[in-house]
A and B are shown apart, each in its own frame.
Chain A
Amino acid sequence: MAVNYDLIAKEIVDTIGADKVFTEIHERMAYSRDWSVRPFNELSLPDIVVRPTSTEDVAATVRIAYKHGVPVIPCGGLTGMAGGAVPTYGGIMIDTRGMNRILELDIDNLTVTVQAGITISKLNSELEKHGLWFPHDPESKQAATVGASIATRNDSTFGIKYGKIEQSVIGLVLVDGVGDIVRLGQRKTLISSSGYRLHWLLVGSEGTLGIITEATLRIFPKPKERCVDMVAFKTFADATKAVNRIVQAGLSIESVNIMCSNRFQYYTHAYRVKYGKGAKVPSGTRAILCLTFNGDSEVVNFSRNYALKICREMGGIVVEEREIVNAWWTSKHVLKFEPGRQKWPDSQRIERFGAADASIPMGRLDEAYEKFKELALRNGLKILGMNVYVQAPYSLHTSVSFAVYVNDKDVDNIKRFYNYVKEMGLYALSIGGSSTSYQGDGEKYAGVLCEIEHKDSLKLISSIKNIFDPKHIMNPGKKFGSSKWIKMGD
């Protein structure tokens, strides 16, 4: 029987109010895609957009969806790169950004409780007034929300010091697939050995278990100083050895990124805009290690000097031109570009960015770099570059962006891109890595690579899904089932 979304919309309006429900096509069209690679003119329209302002609004909406058995798709800033917030099968889109308040700032215990729709940037601008900081730092932070960052398990610039977002999640409020409101985790402490860590189960769940509506996070006093440096190495192995040596020496690194020379050009967009030419690194460079240290100036200066000494001893050449270093840092963290020359739209006018996001064991990065070039070439794709983000505290566990240019006006090019993504994912699995490290399974993989990566625990994964979402209405087409683009046996 066809679903009557007009009646469902009326029911939601009657329950939570007309000002929170949007059904016109021009309102829904804004929710028809995220940042994932898809044909330029493709539309995946939700049937209804709901913009709740409270957990109760979300619960009421999900209860209506549960009754009718229609899809519910939660979204944050819609900057995801795997189609995780795309309404694959239509349904009710829940835009969480109407829930953007800070509910409690506990300075004594260094915790903050927020509604899930606040952006990372807005949270930090409020915390900064108190000299505080939430160090989860995706490049999309100006649009990415706290809830979506948890649900995607996206990357953070400062992963080597503060970890991925689960290191910061103390507790969550979830609306599950039935419409029940559930509090998970603790209120004021990260540490508990009681029960199960169900709040961590939500990290990377991509809205398939329910909708995160509130989060309690650990925060920090904001460090006073930071230094940023770049060191050129001949191989990724040289760069990783240097980082491991710095960790061994006892220094507290704030961030580590290692990029190939192609990606370096992409990341120094601000330099190119300013000087009209590309930034240069020494010839023979394959891996450019970017390091930051934060803290009091004496500590930062000592750490920097000691780390650069280690890098030099291990064959690194320090990039002395500060404009290059600053251009990279602008792209990575500061995000203040020349007015009207922001990196992303400026660099995607003709062809767009697309990336495989495998996690590669730290000792195999050079091999992975070669594989990246081989698979991109085999699929007829132009290389944009490789960037290694270090995401585990004090250890070089990576998430890697293997980026290529994609022509989204050419469906064949898109197909080849997704074949390349699949091959990179399978390659990562073959060497003990993971098929996805910051984008999530999303619509991109759906359940295809998840079924391979978790073949021994699929039954448990399915059982967990059934408990949280018995009617499978939560974000269908993500993490489970077949993918539009990626199929095995092709």
Chain B
Amino acid sequence: MKIEKYVDSIYTCNRTRCGFCIDDCPSYREVRIDSYTSRGRLMISRGLIEGVIKPSPQVAKTVYECTLCGYCEYKCALENVKILEALRETVKEAGFEPEQCKYIIASLYSNENPYMKLRRNRGLWIRGLDIRRKGRTLYFAGCTISYSSYLKGNARSIVKILQKIGLNPAYLASNEFCCSAFLHMLGYEEEFQRRAERNYRLIKGSKCDAIVTSCPFCYLTLKKDYGEVLGSKYDIEVLHITQVLKESIDSGRLSLVEMNTTVTYHDPCHLGRFMRVFEEPREVIKAIPGVSLVEMEKNRFESHCCGGGGVLLAINPDMAFSITSKRLSEAIETGAKAIVSSCPICVEMFKRKIKYDGVRFKAYDIVELIARVLK
């Protein structure tokens, strides 16, 4: 059983019961029962190890209705997210993987994206742009921005911004692959390792030595997880777009015109808590003349999840959007006119919920904001 690897941590939680992980856990806030907390899921892990709990569809539901947002890990001293992923793998190996996950994985294998979209349509957004397949800096769009109807134009905007600051990025177009973060999340660890090796070869084929992406899932996977799998041979610098924007503004390569508005910033879990990129996006927003940034009560490490993580949207969309709704309420409470984030998944979740509810509020990806104020 995969979770047996974490048996010491599981029993440490079992003997501690401090409960620091509970009150702001997004899935717990929806259900308010202890099995929907990190300590509850670690107790399920204990039950599976001891044979007290048998895997079942009900166990799978509790295990998968989690956004893997990492709040519990921030509040703990254990490797909570790795354990939660291993727990999913254990449930999957016992034959109780939810059907939705099987579709996601099948799509990832056959279409190179988790969204059941055609691979050949991945790079349609580059029509009319002068962009090469090879170069020192590779723009890695990722699956979400490539296909989402809510994020149309964002990838083009990023390329134009990168060109304006002289980076002239290369792009793999329909050869771009899924970073495979979903394999991690869904407990396909061995397959993830194989893909990391394959994807590294594809990256090297572009002759790049640096990658820029706007997706925190891709950023974390390409920078940290591939590094863990490939070790010292992994020689690619990986940057999030907000880091590039910040450097470009500081060095004067990017000038911005005025925009009078007040916004709040939502920290994507994978960019913030996991990769600790908190200040660059805020510096970029504050660099726009006329834009005022107000903080939500829960920000940076404490940020509440948008609801879009951990494939919860596929498993239980009602729960996912209820989490989105809570975060949007926190944003609206600040008095801001819009919520800005730097993650395609977060932004899509916010845009969809705003549209569905008919709320007079806006959600922007930070690149949308910058594209509007580019001098």
Contact = CB atoms under 8 A, between A and B. Distances in A.
Interface of A: 22, 24-27, 29-35, 40-41, 43, 49, 51, 77-79, 95, 97-98, 100, 119, 121-122, 125, 140, 142-144, 335, 339-346, 348-349, 352, 408
B326 to A, nearest CB: 14
Most B Cβ at <10 Å: residue of A30, A97, A335, A408: A30
Contacts of A26: 35, 44, 47, 53, 56, 58-59, 62
Contacts of B297: 125
A342 B20 contact: yes
A29 B18 contact: no
A121 B14 CA distance: 23
B16 interface: yes
Given A27-B62, A35-B18, A78-B19, 15 more contacts: A26-B53, A29-B43, A30-B33, A30-B40, A31-B34, A32-B43, A33-B17, A40-B11, A40-B14, A43-B52, A142-B22, A143-B23, A340-B74, A346-B77, A349-B8
13 contacts: A22-B33, A26-B59, A29-B43, A29-B44, A33-B17, A95-B33, A121-B23, A143-B22, A339-B273, A342-B76, A345-B16, A345-B77, A348-B16
B47 A40 contact: no
A352 B76 contact: no
A29 B23 contact: no
Nearest to B333: A129
Interface in B38-57: 39-40, 43-44, 46-47, 50, 52-53, 56
A40 B33 contact: no
Report, nearest first, the 9 A-B pairs whose CB atoms are least far apart: A143-B19, A30-B34, A346-B77, A30-B40, A344-B18, A35-B17, A345-B77, A30-B35, A352-B15
A27 B23 contact: no
A51 B73 contact: no
A29 B52 contact: yes
B32 interface: yes
B77 A342 contact: yes
Nearest to B297: A125
Contacts of A79: 17-19
Contacts of A51: 32-33
Given A346-B77, A352-B15, A122 B23 contact: yes
Contacts of A95: 32-34
Contacts of A348: 12, 15-16
Nearest to B301: A339
Nearest to B77: A346
A144 B46 CA distance: 24
B236 interface: no
Nearest to A342: B77
Contacts of B37: 30
B13 interface: yes
A29 B77 contact: no
B254 interface: no
B354 interface: no
Contacts of A40: 11, 14-15
Contacts of B11: 40
A345 B62 contact: no
B175 to A, nearest CB: 37
Contacts of A352: 15-16
Nearest to A118: B23
A278 B104 CA distance: 49
Most B Cβ at <10 Å: residue of A33, A41, A340: A340
Interface residues of B, number: 40
Contact of A340 (B44, B46, B59, B77): B77
B3 to A, nearest CB: 13
Contacts of B35: 22, 26-27, 29-30
Contacts of A408: 15
What is the predominant secondary structure among interface residues of chain A facing chain B?
loop
A346 B12 CA distance: 9
Given A29-B53, A31-B34, A344 B16 contact: yes
Contacts of A346: 77
Contacts of A144: 19
A342 B75 contact: yes
A344 B17 CA distance: 9
Contacts of A24: 56, 58-59
B78 interface: yes
A77 to B, nearest CB: 5
B17 A78 contact: yes
Nearest to B32: A98
Contact of B14 (A27, A33, A143): A33
Nearest to B18: A344
A83 to B, nearest CB: 11
A349 B7 CA distance: 11
B181 to A, nearest CB: 20
Contact of B50 (A41, A97, A335, A341): A41
A337 B59 CA distance: 32
Nearest to A335: B20
A24 B52 CA distance: 12
A349 B15 CA distance: 9
A306 B8 CA distance: 49
Contacts of B53: 25-26, 29
Nearest to A349: B12
Nearest to A80: B17
A97 to B, nearest CB: 6
A344 B20 contact: yes
Contacts of A32: 43
Contacts of B75: 342
B78 to A, nearest CB: 6
A140 B12 contact: no
B83 to A, nearest CB: 12
Nearest to A143: B19
A348 B17 CA distance: 11
Contacts of B59: 24, 26
B74 A142 contact: no
Nearest to A354: B15
Contacts of B40: 30
Given A79-B18, A344-B16, A344-B20, A30 B52 contact: no
Interface in B296-317: 297, 301
Given A26-B35, A143-B23, A352-B16, A341 B58 contact: no
A332 B20 CA distance: 14
Interface string B223-247: 0000000000000000000000000
